[in-house]
């Protein structure tokens, strides 16, 4: 994996980091929604 990343140019590395940030943001948002849904389910259920 490190060899593959080392062969990327600066623009490709920037795009890869951007995709990683987007993925992290999506995961965090989905986790927050699931936790809120579970909390509301416990309160109303």
pLDDT, average across residues 14-41: 97
Closest to 22 in 3D by CA, of 14, 40, 8: 14
**Cα 36 to Cα 7, 26, 32, 41, distances in angstroms:** 42, 15, 6, 8
Residue 45, pLDDT > 80, answer no
The structural domains of the chain, with segments of one domain joined by +, span 2-44
Structure-block tokens of residue 24 = 């992290």
pLDDT, average across residues 4-8: 91
How many Å apart are CA 23 and CA 17, to the nearest integer?
Answer: 10
Q: What predicted TM-score, i.e. pTM, was given to this entire model?
A: 0.69
How many Å apart are CA 9 and CA 21, to the nearest integer?
Answer: 19
**How long is the chain?**
45
pLDDT band at residue 1 under the 50/70/90 scheme: confident
């Amino acid at each position: 994996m490190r060899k593959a990343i080392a062969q990327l140019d600066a623009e490709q590395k920037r795009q890869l980091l951007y995709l990683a940030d987007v993925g992290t943001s999506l995961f965090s948002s989905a986790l927050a929604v699931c936790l809120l849904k579970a909390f509301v389910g416990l309160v109303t259920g």
